[in-house]
Structure 1
Amino acid sequence: MKVVGAAPLVSPKKKHTTPAVNKIHLDDMDKDILRRTVHKSYVIDHQVPTVNTLLVKMQEKINYAGQRETLRKHLHEIGFTFKTCSDKRKLLMERSGTVTWRSQYLRIMRDNDRAINPKTVTYIDETYIHPSYGVSKCWQSETELGVYKQNRSGQHYIIVHAGGEYGFVPNALLTFKSQSKSSDYHDDMNHKNFMQWLETKLIPNLPPNGLIVMDNASYHSAQINKPPTQATRKDSIIKWLQMQRIPITSEMRKAELLELVKAKQHTKTYYVDELLKEHGHTVVRLPPYHCELNPIENVWSIMKHKVAMRNVDQKNANIEAFIQEAVAEITPNYWQKYCDNARKIREEFWEQDGLLDDVLEKMTFTVNRDSSREDSIYSSSTDDEC
């Protein structure tokens, strides 16, 4: 029976909260600083890094605005986890996949540096710039870059280029206006556009028989004959298995077919790698969150500074011309400086990783059923008990 005057029943609305890790943004450079701070705590300071000690150091280095749990989440995001030592201490460890990836990258580049006839190294990357990118009113010079002012709202321009110690690859600059409303410029690039840029602008102008260094953006990493996943339709899974000449029966369920997919040893092959291989080049992929190993990141900073110094009226019509002029002014001398710095950082990593191995070799780790709980990024237990 309906009660007159009674308040209507309303289902409580679910509260949507934004994870703290998304509120405090760390760019690639900040993530590099965080990772190297962990390494130096072990190797140089001879101390076991904890969230509390790292929080203080990150506040000093980059004015980190997050708290303990936010920093813990950022650590997990860049490939660190907590492992339990034999004396029940929890130690901050880099995931083995990240360490392996970095070791392989460093070895390839180190061998090339020491070769009698080293291959020419070319670095590929993408960036973006807003038409409003400029400098605030202050004294400026080529060495004192001043204060940048940028309105991040509105449309931006995507820049794709490549270069090495010899400078930028001639005629390989690609600049286009963003068509995406997303703040992530990677949304404007896709595999098709990237492959077209490789074929028409980059490959025809590359030095022969080179090493091509790039990151792991999704459009760099489209796989040939990619294995099916849980989201793949059953008929597509069957076709994939038949192409691999794996025997199946018509009565098999999707879960059984996916188990056959998992059992198949499949080597990842990328369209980008194969295309460059056809033209005599070898692709080397940067380990995640190691942008300091890519000298083009420093080149982008110089390029944006030069654009900012020109961009007085901040009109969209001028920005592409400013980009072209700025790129033309970045000589091989700039590239040589930053490539030498990247080589120095590689050697530091090589030595530091060896020292880190020695430090961690002395510690025995225990693996138990609670390790997954302890490693959870949402773990509330303290890691500062040591």
Structure 2
Amino acid sequence: NRTMEPIKAGVEKVKETVQGSTAQAKFEKAKDPAVKPEKRVDAALDAGEKERIALCLDNATWHNKLTEESVIPKRASAKGEIQQWLKDRKINFSEKFVKAQLLQLVGANCPPKEYISDHIGKKYGIEIFRLPKLHCSLNPIELSWNNLKQFVRDQNTTFRQDDVKQLIEQFMVAMDDKRATSYFHHVRGIEEMFKTADAIMEENIESHLQSDSEETDSDEE
């Protein structure tokens, strides 16, 4: 048995080396911009838990689809649907309540929003980040779209669909870590600028503004 211990240790060492090399190869594949996005995600998942994975999602509808438990009735919902939603959750209400009153009960008892994409990400150990709504200047992908469109405009000479598709693919292949990171650095600079502007507003401007009630009181005097 003692003579076998060094052999076993050697075998385990070889296994670790092979597995480590395989994981590293898959991780490199996950970072390779020439590989299709779905293949890059698969490679990243197969690389193991040594590298954390994060996905930055924009506000596309399919990214923010709620789980069935998080969906609540809306104004467009039929009165019967709202009543059934309340009954399913054992929330008492009067049968005489009109639709507006029922919706108030829904609002007071609505569950926290949970997204299907978050559940899927959690299942595979992926952290999900969401970009702020209605702030294109804070969305790094907008810089990428702008550069892509500019690249196509500058290089497009035939105006044929196949050639435009090829130009788009060329741009995507050239998208490396350095360029993608620069987009985030740019957005971070804008975010800091907004924070500075907010601080100036709070310290130097808002303190000198009168509320509506103060203006009314001064007018009456």
Q: How far is 1:299 from its partner? A: 2.3
Counterpart for residue 48 of structure 1: none
Match of 2:141, as an amino acid?
I
Q: How far is 1:229 from its partner? A: 1.6
Matched, 1:204 2:49: no
Matched, 1:319 2:164: yes
The 1-side partners of 2:166 and 2:211 are apart by 59
Counterpart for residue 233 of structure 1: 78
Match of 2:124, as an amino acid?
H
Counterpart for residue 220 of structure 1: 63
Q: How far is 1:169 from its partner? A: 9.2
Q: Alpha-carbon deviations, 1:265-291, whole Å to 9, x = none? A: 432222223322333233333333322
The 1-side partners of 2:105 and 2:96 are apart by 14
The 2-side partners of 1:342 and 1:168 are apart by 22
Counterpart for residue 362 of structure 1: 207
Q: How far is 1:328 from its partner? A: 0.8
Please tell me whether the aligned partners of residues 167 and 330 of structure 1 are also in contact (alpha carbons under 8 angstroms): no
Q: 1:365 to 1:221 in 2, by over 3 A?
A: farther
Please tell me whether the aligned partners of residues 291 and 297 of structure 1 are also in contact (alpha carbons under 8 angstroms): yes
Q: 1:203 to 1:244 in 2, by over 3 A?
A: farther
SS of equivalent residue, structure 1 residue 266: coil
Match of 2:83, as an amino acid?
I
Counterpart for residue 116 of structure 1: none
Q: How far is 1:260 from its partner? A: 1.4
Q: 1:170 to 1:367 in 2, by over 3 A?
A: farther
Q: Alpha-carbon deviations, 1:124-166, whole Å to 9, x = none? A: xxxxxxxxxxxxxxxxxxxxxxxxxxxxxxxxxxxxxxxxxx6
The 1-side partners of 2:33 and 2:97 are apart by 54
From 197, 200, 213, the counterpart of 1:352? 197
Q: How far is 1:240 from its partner? A: 1.6
Q: Which structure 2 residues correspond to residues 107-256 of structure 1 after superposition, within 5 A?
A: 170-172=35-37, 203-204=41-42, 209-224=52-67, 225-256=70-101
Match of 2:117, as an amino acid?
V
Please tell me whether the aligned partners of residues 211 and 283 of structure 1 are also in contact (alpha carbons under 8 angstroms): yes
Match of 2:36, as an amino acid?
N
**Greater CA radius of gyration, 1 or 2?**
2
The 1-side partners of 2:36 and 2:103 are apart by 46
Give the count of matched residue pairs.
176
Q: 1:239 to 1:297 in 2, by over 3 A?
A: same
SS of equivalent residue, structure 1 residue 283: strand
Q: How far is 1:365 from its partner? A: 3.8
Relative contact order, CA 8 A, sep 6+: which one is greater?
1
Counterpart for residue 298 of structure 1: 143
Counterpart for residue 178 of structure 1: none
- State percent identity of aligned pairs: 26
Q: Which structure 2 residues correspond to residues 22-101 of structure 1 after superposition, within 5 A?
A: none
Q: How far is 1:344 from its partner? A: 2.3
Counterpart for residue 6 of structure 1: none
Q: How far is 1:223 from its partner? A: 2.5
Q: Which structure 2 residues correspond to residues 249-288 of structure 1 after superposition, within 5 A?
A: 249-288=94-133
Q: 1:285 to 1:336 in 2, by over 3 A?
A: closer
Please tell me whether the aligned partners of residues 237 and 257 of structure 1 are also in contact (alpha carbons under 8 angstroms): yes
Q: How far is 1:167 from its partner? A: 7.8
Q: 1:281 to 1:254 in 2, by over 3 A?
A: same
- Unaligned runs of 5+ residues in structure 1 are 1-165, 173-199, 369-386
How big is the alpha-carbon RMSD for the aligned residues of Structure 1 and Structure 2?
Answer: 3.1
Match of 1:204, as an amino acid?
D
Match of 2:56, as an amino acid?
V
SS of equivalent residue, structure 1 residue 257: helix
Please tell me whether the aligned partners of residues 227 and 261 of structure 1 are also in contact (alpha carbons under 8 angstroms): yes
Q: How far is 1:333 from its partner? A: 2.8
Please tell me whether the aligned partners of residues 222 and 271 of structure 1 are also in contact (alpha carbons under 8 angstroms): yes
Q: How far is 1:233 from its partner? A: 1.1
- Unaligned runs of 5+ residues in structure 2 are 1-30, 46-50, 214-221
Structure with greater strand percent:
1
The 2-side partners of 1:244 and 1:360 are apart by 48
Please tell me whether the aligned partners of residues 293 and 342 of structure 1 are also in contact (alpha carbons under 8 angstroms): yes
TM-score in terms of structure 2 length: 0.63
Please tell me whether the aligned partners of residues 169 and 202 of structure 1 are also in contact (alpha carbons under 8 angstroms): no
Match of 1:366, as an amino acid?
S
Q: 1:249 to 1:227 in 2, by over 3 A?
A: same
Please tell me whether the aligned partners of residues 72 and 110 of structure 2 are also in contact (alpha carbons under 8 angstroms): no
Please tell me whether the aligned partners of residues 132 and 139 of structure 2 are also in contact (alpha carbons under 8 angstroms): no
